[in-house]
């Protein structure tokens, strides 16, 4: 239930509201109305919302899911109005959690969470970015239920800063989970008390996968590992084949968001989500008698660890863990990224805990944060002065995540014009008269390599017999995520990186160096 008090006429821009549900959380009933007055009279009139429109939620990153959005519009919103919303949902699986944030983008007079819990249900309350003494907490135990209440008053609005972390890292919030419940027969059923319970539930779901009918998989394997002897080379070829031949399509439909499809189905369809691609890799390696393990992990926008929050809210992704032969080095295989080199974790899981299935037990490892020397952007340029223009030849090398990002951008190019636009943006220097005249992208190499040539007009200046050239031609660091003095939240970067911009100028015949600026430093 929520009440919004309109303290200004500008509140009318918030007249549209919506409630999101899914097959896990079904909407029971919903009521919304506006209390308003005419000409500042004391008596309120009631404008009830009659039209609620329920449609499938559309996401740019998910091909299909079962989320549904119920939308409506408040009428007669004006200064002094009160907007009321009340609804209830059925949560069909006790493993799922409920999250309440105590700060939002608008000021709040009061934010209250009231939880009615049957006395046969034991719940766990997780506090994040707040202490339990930061809210007014009360509890009332009755014959059949216990009522918990958390309340905060006079809450200032939260203003999101550019390049900040996800709200879950910053805003105070509470997550409610179920530890256990009693059946009608008095038997206690444990739900999610700890990581062990979470793993058991996950395990019960992936055990539904059928690993039969592997003929097509065996046929594919016979071709891709032909003349391959070493285990590591076999793993690399399987990984690369799945990256190149299985189309990643994100799908969440009920428990299908947790249970992978059968590997024979995935191989036949040639598409799947993260779970499907992971199951296929694991199955192909199993056929080759190579051990690998399905693993759960959360992307970096999720701040929780498995010990802090042993519920499905802690992760949203599946990968494969492989202990490299000979060294036992732990390698994470994520085929959803078609251009990720073997040995690198995907960008979005760096530093995150990974829950690894080991049969009847599990292990928790940590995805490494890739060091900056691995992710390199190296741009080298040789300049010559020709009449009133600069003629340049350059060479760009992108390693690690730079290589991954550049190849991904190129894959989205529809034609040569799009490719030219991308390379032009990547190599641009000096001023808006930069003209990329030629380029070549190297094929069949591990890193991204591009050689290029360009002409730059009206860039340098002549004064009598002197030439003034600024060879600091890139403005990359001039505007790179500067930190304002009044900034309150941390800046999040995609990954650690090394950036090298090297420029050489060939001195024209008859000239010598008169002045070079002092070195400068960027921090």
Residue 432 near residue 458, CB atoms below 8 Å: no
Tell me the CATH number of domain 93-193, given options 3.30.1360.200, 3.40.50.970, 3.40.50.300, 2.60.40.3140. 2.60.40.3140
Residue 296 near residue 309, CB atoms below 8 Å: no
Determine the pLDDT at residue 251: 74
Sign of CA dihedral 192, 194, 200, 201: positive
Residue 236: in which H helix or E strand, if any? Answer: helix 231-245
Determine the pLDDT at residue 519: 83
Beta-carbon contacts of 496 under 8 Å, excluding residues fewer than 6 positions away, are 369, 370, 371, 372, 375
Which tokens belong to 251? 């799908």
Return the beta strands (E) in 370-444 as ranges: 376-386, 389-398, 434-441
Determine the pLDDT at residue 254: 67
Percent of the chain with pLDDT over 90: 66
Determine the pLDDT at residue 65: 64
403 to each of 376, 399, 497, how far by Cα in Å? 8, 5, 12
Determine the pLDDT at residue 518: 87
Determine the pLDDT at residue 14: 76
Tell me the CATH number of domain 209-366, given options 3.60.110.10, 3.90.420.10, 3.40.640.10, 3.10.620.30. 3.10.620.30
In the block, tokens 């009139």 appear at: 45
| pTM score, whole prediction | 0.90
* pLDDT < 50 regions, the chain: none
Determine the pLDDT at residue 78: 84
Find how far residue 316's CA is from the centre of its chain.
Answer: 9
Give the C-alpha separation, 169 to 129, whole Å: 7
Determine the pLDDT at residue 378: 96
- Angle (CA) 37-43-44 rounded to 5° is 50
Determine the pLDDT at residue 40: 63
What does the DSSP 8-state code read for residue 64? Answer: E
Domain extents in the chain: 1-91, 93-193, 209-366, 376-505
Determine the pLDDT at residue 523: 63
| 212-238 pLDDT per residue, tens | 999 999 999 999 998 888 999 999 999
114 to each of 1, 92, 98, 146, how far by Cα in Å? 9, 20, 12, 10
Q: What are phi and psi of 125, to 5 degrees?
A: -115, 125
Determine the pLDDT at residue 476: 67
């Amino acid at each position: 239930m929520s009440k919004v008090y309109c303290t200004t006429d500008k509140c009318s821009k918030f007249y549209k509201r919506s409630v999101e549900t899914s097959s896990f959380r079904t909407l029971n009933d919903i009521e919304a109305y506006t209390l308003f007055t005419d000409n500042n009279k004391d008596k309120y009139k009631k404008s009830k919302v009659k039209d609620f429109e329920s449609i499938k939620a559309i996401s740019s990153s998910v091909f299909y899911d079962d989320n549904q959005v119920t939308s409506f519009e408040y009428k007669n919103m004006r200064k002094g109005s009160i907007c009321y919303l009340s609804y209830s949902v059925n949560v069909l699986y006790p493993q799922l959690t409920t999250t309440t944030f105590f700060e939002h983008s608008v000021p709040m007079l009061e934010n209250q969470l009231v939880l009615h819990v049957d006395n046969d249900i034991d719940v766990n309350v997780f506090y994040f970015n707040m202490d339990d003494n930061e809210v007014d907490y009360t509890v009332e135990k009755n014959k059949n239920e216990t009522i918990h209440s958390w309340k905060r008053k006079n809450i200032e609005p939260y203003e999101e800063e550019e390049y900040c972390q996800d709200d879950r890292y910053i805003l105070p919030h509470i997550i409610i989970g179920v530890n256990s419940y009693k059946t009608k027969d008095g038997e206690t059923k444990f739900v999610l008390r700890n990581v062990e319970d979470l793993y058991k539930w996950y395990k019960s779901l992936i055990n539904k996968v059928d690993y039969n009918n592997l003929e097509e998989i065996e046929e594919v394997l016979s071709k891709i590992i032909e003349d391959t002897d070493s285990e590591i080379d076999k793993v690399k070829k399987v990984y690369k084949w799945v990256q190149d031949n299985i189309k990643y399509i994100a799908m969440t439909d009920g428990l299908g968001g947790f249970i992978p499809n059968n590997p024979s189905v995935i191989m036949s369809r040639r598409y799947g989500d993260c779970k499907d691609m992971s199951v296929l890799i694991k199955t192909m390696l199993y056929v080759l008698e190579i051990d690998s393990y399905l693993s759960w992990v959360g992307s970096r926008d999720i701040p929780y660890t498995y010990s802090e929050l042993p519920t499905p809210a802690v992760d949203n992704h599946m990968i494969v863990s492989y202990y490299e032969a000979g060294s036992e080095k732990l390698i994470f295989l994520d085929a959803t990224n078609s251009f990720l080199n073997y040995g690198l974790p995907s960008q979005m899981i760096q530093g995150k805990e990974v829950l690894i299935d080991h049969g009847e037990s599990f292990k928790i490892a940590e995805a490494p944060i890739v060091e900056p020397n691995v992710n390199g952007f190296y741009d080298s340029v040789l300049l010559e002065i020709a009449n009133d223009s600069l003629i340049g030849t350059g060479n760009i090398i992108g390693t690690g995540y730079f290589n991954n990002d550049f190849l991904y951008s190129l894959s989205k190019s529809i034609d040569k014009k799009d490719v030219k636009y991308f390379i032009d943006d990547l190599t641009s220097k000096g001023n808006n008269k930069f003209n990329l005249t030629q380029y070549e992208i190297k094929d069949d190499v591990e890193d991204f390599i591009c050689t290029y040539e360009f002409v730059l007009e009206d860039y340098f200046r002549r004064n009598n017999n002197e030439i003034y050239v600024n060879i600091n031609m890139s403005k990359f660091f001039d505007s790179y995520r500067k930190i304002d003095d009044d900034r309150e939240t941390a800046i999040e970067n995609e990954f650690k990186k090394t950036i090298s911009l090297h420029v050489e100028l060939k001195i024209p015949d008859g000239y010598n160096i008169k002045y070079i600026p002092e070195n400068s430093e960027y921090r």
